[in-house]
């Protein structure tokens, strides 16, 4: 049982016994006692005054006295201005340490029977993944791991945007200027090669627009009449008509991109159970349009286009089918959502998509409900803020995108330089150093992004993320390696970790107290879809351990019982760090 739940139950009993009536629902809220006061948990007495008919201080004294007399876990109480501070016994915390050590997969919950689908990544096949995709992928994967820790069956899916005018732009540019080059002939990753041609298209397109404007054309006229865009639109029409040569080129260039994506995903450490392709799903929603027309949910206008009027719901009118019969994104998403529910009946469908699409998912959910799909309430948009580097925002079409592969390489190189400058890996054999540089660089990247609440726009600073002394991945990784080093030395001396009856110091109690909060942190983070809660919890635990490590001898402790118990404590701290970082998709080293 969670400690707060245990003490809340005792508090409720204390109130009932002291005043002859139950406390109103929701008023018994506990929080950690502030450091300047003595205690572990604090309860506010002000909501109880209508029952007690006493002052806040007297109410606290009455309730506290009952707890001290009837609750074996409570060793002392004190009241400060209506706040009841409760101190739990050393024996209680000792029992908690024993419980943690005896619990297999501590922090994880049993099978909930709940199925959750998480969609993330959703790249376009005309360019490589960038910094924004990194946050998307890391969030999607970490949320999936977090939900698995909560006992849910998770299906990780990707929807690849592999068709449309943007793909044709890269294809057209390759036809014009590619001279048959391939990833093999150039030595480039396929997604980077396709992205180069997307940038070439845009450059030529802008030059054509500029020329037309010198001839007196308006901006809008120049954008529509530039030959490049007309050729790309013609290529899209050929694709939709199944033109053999166009389809062959499309398949070839997409295969280059998929191979490139796969390499990026592998290095990033993310994966999927199923990948959907827009070329397979973009027509699915048309059936839903007919269904909506028959039910009177949608209306067809005189030009043949199909709309839904959501003004009574506080939104606007939404296009579902263009006059020429082509679908729009919302149409595809309707069809895809229904197909997914048919394939994997889920209790929750999470879309990990940037906050610029908030309105889109509000509309998607509402239309599904109007069509009679009751499971539409299971849709959750995990809306996240954009990522920026100190230099500013990214602009992919000008070719200044912050490339994911380049950033990962930079992170590993920064980890290498920083580690060598600080002498962190002096004792590590040279053949192991490269693996550790990769682990540290990727750990820094992942942790720095995931420690920020998803809803917030964030500034990613590569140098700051590598700091071995701040709220960073390398600080936590180094802490884990430090603990493992002590445990290896203990094993070499023939020492064994075990629970003993040795008294716990205040620092040790603090470590146990923090570890008892781990399962509840996992639960809260899962409910909030926020890996940041786990990330910052692990940081606080690591920080607390480092303070303890500098104050308390372990291998030099003369008392054998205390030494064995401290080794057990270290084992559990290392285990929680490794489990928590694993939820974030971050590896921790055994040695550094």
| Residues 39, 78 contacting (CB under 8 angstroms) | yes
Mean pLDDT, range 262-267, rounded to an integer: 98
Say whether pLDDT at 187 is over 90: yes
Rounded to whole angstroms, the Cα distance separating 15 from 523 reads: 28
Share of the chain above pLDDT 70, in %: 98
Positive or negative torsion for Cα 434, 415, 143, 99: positive
What pLDDT shows up at residue 1?
52
Please write the tens of the pLDDT for every residue from 417-465.
Answer: 998 888 878 878 888 899 999 999 999 999 999 999 999 999 888 888 9
CB 414 within 8 A of CB 441: yes
What pLDDT is stored for residue 461 in this prediction? 85
User: What is the structure's pLDDT at 395?
Assistant: 45
- Residue 391 pLDDT exceeds 70: no
Q: Give 84-125 pLDDT, tens digit per residue.
A: 999 999 899 999 999 999 999 999 999 999 999 999 999 999
Kindly state the tokens that stand for 65.
Answer: 């006295």
pTM of the model: 0.92
Please state, in angstroms and rounded to a whole number, the distance separating the CA atoms of residues 533 and 200.
Answer: 43
SS3 552: coil
Average pLDDT over residues 457-474: 90
Q: What is the mean pLDDT of the chain?
A: 93
Percentage of the chain beyond pLDDT 90 is 84
- Specify the pLDDT at position 400: 56
> Which residues neighbour 80 within 8 Å (Cβ) at sequence distance 6 or greater?
37
- Residues with Cβ within 8 Å of 520's Cβ and at least 6 positions away in sequence, in order, are 2, 4
Instruction: List, as one string, the DSSP characters of 157-171.
Output: EEEEB--SHHHHHHH
pLDDT in tens, 265-320: 999 999 999 999 999 888 888 888 999 999 999 999 999 999 999 999 999 999 99
| 372: nearest Cα among 292, 462, 313 | 292
Tell me the β-bridge partners of 279.
Answer: none
- Closest C-alpha among 315, 460, 326 to residue 393: 460
Tell me how far apart the alpha carbons of residues 370 and 297 are, in angstroms, rounded to a whole number.
7
Q: At what angle do helices 190-214 and 165-177 cross, to 10 degrees?
A: 90
| Cβ 52 vs Cβ 72: under 8 Å | no
| Site of tokens 């960038």 | 130
Instruction: Give the pLDDT confidence score for residue 284 in this predicted structure.
Output: 86
pLDDT in tens, 64-79: 999 999 999 999 999 9
Residue in the block written with tokens 């201080």: 57
- CA 98 to chain centroid: 32
Residues contacting residue 537 through CB under 8 Å, at least 6 positions apart: 514, 517, 518, 521, 580
pLDDT of residue 397: 42
pLDDT of residue 388: 82
- Among all chains, which residue has been given the structure tokens 């029952």? 51
Enter the DSSP assignment of 269: T
Tallying the residues shown for the chain, one arrives at 592
Tell me how far apart the alpha carbons of residues 383 and 277 are, in angstroms, rounded to a whole number.
22
Model pLDDT for residues 334-365, shown as the tens digit of each residue: 999 999 999 999 999 999 999 999 999 999 99
Cβ contacts of 107 within 8 Å, gap of 6 or more: 149, 518, 519, 522, 576, 579, 580
- Mean predicted confidence (pLDDT) in 122-134: 94
- What is the 3-class SS of 34-89, one letter each residue? CCCCCCCEEEECHHHHHHHCCCHHHHHHHHHHHHHHHCCCEEEEEEECCEEEEEEC
What HEC string does 298-330 produce?
CEECCCCCEEEECHHHCCCEEEEECCCCCECHH
Q: Which of 572, 589, 575 is nearest to 96 (CA)?
A: 572
Q: Is the pLDDT of residue 548 over 80?
A: yes
Res. 393 pLDDT band, cuts 50 70 90: very low
What pLDDT, on a 0 to 100 scale, did the predictor assign at position 401? 65
Domains, the chain, in order of start with CATH, read: 3-88 (3.30.1360.70), 115-284+322-397 (3.40.50.620), 285-321 (no CATH), 404-583 (1.10.730.10)
CB distance 492 to 459 below 8 Å: no
DSSP 119-159: E----BTTS--BHHHHHHHHHHHHHHHHHHHTT-EEEEEEE
Nearest Cα to 395, choosing from 198, 177, 161, 159? 198
Q: Is the pLDDT of residue 399 over 60?
A: no
Q: Is 93 exposed, middle or buried (0-12, 13-18, 19+ CB in 10 A)?
A: buried
Q: What token pair was written down for 184?
A: 């093999």
- The DSSP letter of residue 288 is H
Dihedral class, residue 76 (left if φ above 0, else alpha if ψ from -120 to 50, else beta) = beta
Q: Up-side HSE of residue 169: CA atoms within 13 Å toward CB?
A: 21
Residues 550/489, Cβ–Cβ less than 8 Å: no
Q: Would the pLDDT of 196 be above 50?
A: yes
User: pLDDT grade, residue 549 (50/70/90)?
Assistant: very high
Alpha carbons 100 and 248: distance in angstroms, whole number: 59
What value does the CA radius of gyration of the chain take, rounded to a whole number of Å?
29
In this prediction, residues 178-199 reach a mean pLDDT of: 96
Question: Is the distance from CB of 344 to CB of 303 less than 8 angstroms?
Answer: no
Alpha carbon 77 to chain centroid, angstroms:
40
Q: What's the CA gap between 213 and 220, in Å, rounded?
A: 10
Burial class (CB in 10 A: 0-12, 13-18, 19+), 426: exposed
Predicted confidence band of residue 563 (pLDDT cuts 50, 70, 90): very high
d(CA 38, CA 85): 7
Beta bridge partners of 384: 354
């Amino acid at each position: 049982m969670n400690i707060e739940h245990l003490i809340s139950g005792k508090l409720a009993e204390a109130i009932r016994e002291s005043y002859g009536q139950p406390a109103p629902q929701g008023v018994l809220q506990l929080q950690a006692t502030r450091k300047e006061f003595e205690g572990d948990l604090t309860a506010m007495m002000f909501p109880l005054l209508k029952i007690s008919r006493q002052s806040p201080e007297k109410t606290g004294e009455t309730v506290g006295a009952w707890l001290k007399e009837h609750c074996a876990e409570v060793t002392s109480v004190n009241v400060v201005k209506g706040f009841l501070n409760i101190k739990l016994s050393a024996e209680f915390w000792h029992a908690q340490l024993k419980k943690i050590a005896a619990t297999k997969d501590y922090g994880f919950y049993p099978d909930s029977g709940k199925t959750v689908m998480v969609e993330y990544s959703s790249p376009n096949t005309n360019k490589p993944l960038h910094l924004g995709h990194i946050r998307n992928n890391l969030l999607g994967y970490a949320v999936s791991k977090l939900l698995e820790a909560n006992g849910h069956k998770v299906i990780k899916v990707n929807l690849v945007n592999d068709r449309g005018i943007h793909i044709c732009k890269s294809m057209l540019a390759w036809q014009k200027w590619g001279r048959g080059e391939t990833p093999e002939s150039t030595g480039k990753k396929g997604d980077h090669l396709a992205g180069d041609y997307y940038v070439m298209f845009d450059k030529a397109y802008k030059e054509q627009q500029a020329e037309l404007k010198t001839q007196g054309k308006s901006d809008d006229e120049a954008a529509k009449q530039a030959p490049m865009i007309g050729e790309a639109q013609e290529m899209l029409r050929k694709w939709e008509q199944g033109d053999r040569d166009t389809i062959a080129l499309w398949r070839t260039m997409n295969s280059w991109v998929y191979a490139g994506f796969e390499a990026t995903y592998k290095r990033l450490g993310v994966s999927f159970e199923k990948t959907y392709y827009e070329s397979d799903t973009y027509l699915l929603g048309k059936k839903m349009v007919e269904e909506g027309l028959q039910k009177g949910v949608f209306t067809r206008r005189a030009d043949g286009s199909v709309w839904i009027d959501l003004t009574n719901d506080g939104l606007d009118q939404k296009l579902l089918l263009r006059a020429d019969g082509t679908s729009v994104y919302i149409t595809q998403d309707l069809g895809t959502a229904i197909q997914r529910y048919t394939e994997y009946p889920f209790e929750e469908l999470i879309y990990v998509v940037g906050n610029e699409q908030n309105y889109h998912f509000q509309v998607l959910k509402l239309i599904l409900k109007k069509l009679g799909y009751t499971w539409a309430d299971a849709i959750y948009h995990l809306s996240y803020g954009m990522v920026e580097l100190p230099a500013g925002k990214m602009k992919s079409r000008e070719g200044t995108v912050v490339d994911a592969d380049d950033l990962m390489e930079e992170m590993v190189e920064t980890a290498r330089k920083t580690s060598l400058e600080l002498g962190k890996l002096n004792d590590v054999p040279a053949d192991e150093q490269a693996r550790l540089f990769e682990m540290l660089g990727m750990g820094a990247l992942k942790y720095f992004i995931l420690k920020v609440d998803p809803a917030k726009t964030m500034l990613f600073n590569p140098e700051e993320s590598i700091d071995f002394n701040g709220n960073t991945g390398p600080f936590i990784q180094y802490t884990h390696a430090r603990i493992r080093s002590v445990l290896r030395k203990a094993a070499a001396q023939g020492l064994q970790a075990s629970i003993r009856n040795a008294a716990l110091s205040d620092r040790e109690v603090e470590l146990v107290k923090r570890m008892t909060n781990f399962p509840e942190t996992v639960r809260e983070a899962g409910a909030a879809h926020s890996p940041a809660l786990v990330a910052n919890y692990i940081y606080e635990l690591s920080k607390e351990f480092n303070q303890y490590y500098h104050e308390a001898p372990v291998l030099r402790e003369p008392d054998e019982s205390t030494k064995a118990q401290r080794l057990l404590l270290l084992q559990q701290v290392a285990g929680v760090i490794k489990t928590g970082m694993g939820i974030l998709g971050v590896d921790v080293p055994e040695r550094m």
